[in-house]
Amino acid sequence: MSSRRHRGFTLIELIIFIVVVGGAMAGILSVSNAVVKSSADPMVRKQSLAIAQSLLEEILLKEYTKPSGSTVLGFSGGGARNLYDCVRDYDGYVTTTGIVDGKGEAVSGLTGYNITPAVAVTDTTIGGVSMFKVVVSVTGPQGVVELTGYRGDY
């Protein structure tokens, strides 16, 4: 009689395979878990950056100097943000109860963010050209994000 050779895995081979695959899966899942835990961190920082960019853009699009005949008070004079008409009006602007839109209404979901320290608008000269240096800082759950922009008289 001819002996037939059986093909397949032995029990020991199968157990070794399960142990190796189980160890590999444990390693992959632990790395994946660490990535998922910290994946929200960049999103929070990106939100702070988006808020700072939005306010900086709003400021830099304003007039360099107060339009003639304007009686609008800036932040330091107690004026309303939706009426600000020049870059200098934003000097000292700060929020401590969350982010507000241009109309002064609170933006839901952004109560953990503030415009602090205050917006700083300072005179500077670059290449003989008078400019305003505008520094906007947003304090959020992960700290402060600060952006700087320049507005020339053009």
Residue 59: predicted pLDDT: 94
Structural contact between residues 57 and 147, judged by C-beta atoms closer than 8 angstroms: no
Which of 108, 112, 100, 106 shows the shortest CA–CA distance to 139?
112
Two structure tokens written together for 102: 């241009």
Kindly list the strands in the beta sheet with 143-152, ordered across the sheet, starting from the edge strand earlier in the chain. Answer: 120-126, 129-140, 143-152
What average pLDDT does the segment 119-145 reach?
92
Q: Is the pLDDT at 1 greater than 60, yes or no?
A: no
Which of 88, 89, 91 shows the shortest CA–CA distance to 115?
91
pLDDT tens-place string over residues 56-75: 999 999 999 999 998 888 88
Please list the residues that pair with 86 across neighbouring strands. 63
**Residue 132 dihedral angles phi and psi, to the nearest 5°:** -105, 135
What average pLDDT does the segment 113-117 reach?
92
Q: State the pLDDT confidence band at 97, using cuts at 50, 70 and 90.
A: confident
Which residues does 122 contact at the CB level (< 8 Å), separation at least 6?
132, 133, 135
Which 3 state secondary structure label does DSSP give 152? strand
Please tell me the pTM assigned to this model. Answer: 0.72
